[in-house]
Structure 1
Amino acid sequence: MTKNLRLHFTTQRLIIRPLEENDYESWLGGFVNRKPSQHKHDRGHIDMSEATEPWFAALVERQRQEIKADDLYIFGIFDKVTKQHIGMLDIKNLSRDNFQWGEMGYFIHNQFWRQGYAFEALTELVKQARDTLQFHRIEAHINLDNPQSLHLIEKLGFQFECIRKGFIFENGSWTDQYVYYLNTHNNTLNEYL
């Protein structure tokens, strides 16, 4: 990957880009203003006492290095008008060469749920994963008991592939996950985006 990628994207309501040092207050506000947990996969309130400005600056630098290495692309999601931090997106490079294969993830702060932000942001991420980052195949790995994420991924056009047994270590045990995929260079996706 080239080091001069333009990684700042906009949608109707959102700015999607890597975090910068001056995002600290907005980023922190997104976490501090979270509601209590809404379900099993929502962490709710998060202790941010260790997230100082120097800590955040180091986080931003680590993320820059991951982008430079073409390993992991992490994007903040911000409201265009208020500049509030709404959540994060990421796409991890699983393999380049003949595969161009990545894994996508996301979270939206729970105070911003049910407003269509996840669908809007992920639609743009899929488009940029194809056009800017040149991924051909994107996977999403989802807990079996997370119907909200399943519905969202299916709405984006991802297809069910399999259940990977004992795939991720969570809450003290190895758990199964659904694997959904999207080949970004197929005709259906090109019409969709």
Structure 2
Amino acid sequence: MKLTEGTFEIVSETERLIIRPLQKADYENWLNEFENRYPSQYRYDKGKIDKSECTQEWFHNLVEKQQKLALTDTAHVFGVFRKEDGRHLDMVDFSTLARDDFQWGRIGYTIHNQYWRKGYGKEAVEEAFNVAFNHLKFHRIEAHINVDNSASFILAESVGMKYECTRKEFIFEFGEWTDNLIYYKNSIE
């Protein structure tokens, strides 16, 4: 972990991946990988997304916003990059739910659909837990997953997360209150 001149930077590596906050220099790589997405493969895959409003200035503001969120421990957003060629594979993020006696956070993860079925999601999430427990000092991490998002809960189970419960009408999306499966992992497991 590195704190320099008002920035928050954690860089973590696996055999194939680098996980780190986005930097302003990532703009072209970031935009290119969104533009190369395949059409949507299922409900929770946005597929190709119109990024025409995502100018370089817009992206620089996004990077600055993510830095501010990290510095205030509100959220920590990490780009996932492939070591062999530096391509942006997408992201993992942590939102702080409570600190003090809880040290509790929520994880989110996505991989661009052109990189699916290569193990990048599992590898990124496993390393993200290392970051969450050893650098961000969370004790408990939850994933909040739509009940019909089997790809997400299969990934959660593959990295050792355990099903805890179903929270009824937990989040407002798709124009209605929807249920979420709650998976968790603790730092001492």
Structure 1 length-normalised TM = 0.93
What CA distance in whole angstroms lies between the structure 1 residues aligned with 2:3 and 2:79?
19
- Runs (5+) with no aligned partner, structure 1: 187-193
**In the alignment, structure 1 residue 52 sits paired with structure 2 residue 55:** yes
Cα distance, 1:6 vs. partner? 5.0
Per-residue CA deviation, residues 168-193 of structure 1 (Å, 9 max, x unaligned), is 1111111000001111123xxxxxxx
Q: 1:37-186 counterparts in 2 under 5 A?
A: 37-186=40-189
What CA distance in whole angstroms lies between the structure 1 residues aligned with 2:83 and 2:130?
19
4+ long deviations beyond 4 Å: 2-6
CA RMSD of aligned residues (A): 1.2
What CA distance in whole angstroms lies between the structure 1 residues aligned with 2:141 and 2:61?
28
What CA distance in whole angstroms lies between the structure 2 residues aligned with 1:184 and 1:51?
37
Q: Is the 8 A contact 1:31 1:46 kept in 2?
A: yes
Report the count of equivalent residues.
185
Q: Is the 8 A contact 1:3 1:68 kept in 2?
A: no
**Which residue identity lines up with residue 118 of structure 1 in the other structure?**
G
- Runs (5+) with no aligned partner, structure 2: none
**Which residue identity lines up with residue 74 of structure 2 in the other structure?**
D
**Which residue identity lines up with residue 153 of structure 1 in the other structure?**
A
Structure 2 length-normalised TM = 0.95
**Which residue identity lines up with residue 183 of structure 1 in the other structure?**
N
**In the alignment, structure 1 residue 29 sits paired with structure 2 residue 23:** no
Q: Is the 8 A contact 1:130 1:185 kept in 2?
A: no
Per-residue CA deviation, residues 128-158 of structure 1 (Å, 9 max, x unaligned), is 1111010000000111001111111011111
